[in-house]
Amino acid sequence: MAPPDQPHIPSMAPLEQPYIPPMAPPEQTLAPTQRPRVGRESSRVWTVQVIDEQGNTKKTKLTKSGVFEMPRGERIVVPFDRQKRAYGEAATLLLGACGRISTDSKNIPINFESWIKVPKSYKDDCFNTLKNLFHFQASELIAKRYCSLSMSSIGMQR
C-alpha cells in the first residue's frame, strides 16, 4: 500500500496492454522496415510555389536539376523570414542552385583562392542567373547578400 502522500499507481502485469484513452487516434500499422513520414514527402523531389510572368502561382514538384529545366518565364518563389534567411523547400533548391552555379568554372574560374578575391562582375553574373530562376520575396539587396554568402561557403569548397 502506498503512503498517503503519494498517489497509488496500479501495477501492470507483464502481458497487459497499456491503457489507451478512448479518444486516442488509431495508430497506423507500418511494415517493419517502414518509418512514419515526418516533414517532406521525398528526399529527391521538393514541392514549391512557381510564379509565371503574369504573376500566376502554382504548386509544382521539382528536383534539384529540374530548377535549370523549368519553362522560360517561370521562377521558384523563395520566402524569407525576419532574420533575412530563405526558408522552406524553395530554400533547399536555392542552395543547390547556388552550389551548382558557384562551382561551375564557366561562371567562376578556378584560379581564385577565396570568394573575397572573386571580382564583383562574376558575382553579379551568378546572381543574375539566380534571378532568372528564383522569385525572391525580399529586397534585391537581401536576396543578393543571402545568395553571395551561400555561394561563398559552397563554391570555395571545390
The answer to whether residue 5 sits within a structural domain is no
The answer to whether residue 108 sits within a structural domain is yes
- In whole angstroms, what is the distance from residue 91 CA to residue 87 CA? 5
pLDDT digits (tens, 9 = 90+) for 109-150: 888 888 889 999 999 999 999 999 999 999 999 999 999 999
Whole-structure pTM value: 0.71
Task: Find the domain containing 148 and state its range.
Answer: 46-155
pLDDT beneath 70: ranges in the chain:
1-42, 155-158
Q: 138 with 81: CB under 8 angstroms?
A: no
The answer to whether residue 28 sits within a structural domain is no
The answer to whether residue 119 sits within a structural domain is yes
**Predicted local confidence at residue 19, as pLDDT:** 46
The answer to whether residue 137 sits within a structural domain is yes
The answer to whether residue 65 sits within a structural domain is yes
